[in-house]
Amino acid sequence: MTNGIAQVVIGIALAAAIGGVAALNPGNKPHEEVAYLERLAATVERAKVLAPDTRAQLSKLTNRYETLLSDAQLDLKRQKALRRIRTVMLRSAD
């Protein structure tokens, strides 16, 4: 029971962090955006379970960062971070 509650709390905190950072990121700064995605990917990978609301927020967020970047190396990092996030989302959906 305690483990389940902890997972829910972690999921809610993760969803709040995702929404808060996305809302506070009004500018188009590709390097910062990719760094954010890489940090988010690391955080999501540490989560044992993602709540449905968290997966929904992550889905919206990853869709927002689909645009290709002009810097090829930076774009590759973006793609890898998005792939890491989506892998965890798929694993958690099962």
Judge whether 56 and 12 are in contact, CB under 8 Å. Answer: no
Cα 42 to chain center, whole Å?
9
pLDDT-derived band of residue 32, with 50, 70 and 90 as boundaries?
very high
CA dihedral 60, 64, 66, 69 (to 10 degrees): -160
Residue 84 has pLDDT above 70, yes or no: yes
Residue 18 has pLDDT above 80, yes or no: no
Residue 22 has pLDDT above 60, yes or no: no
Please tell me whether the overall predicted TM-score, pTM, comes out greater than 0.75 for this model: no
Residue 66 has pLDDT above 80, yes or no: yes
User: HSE on the CB side for 8, CA within 13 Å?
Assistant: 5
Q: Residues 15-38: what's their mean pLDDT? A: 74
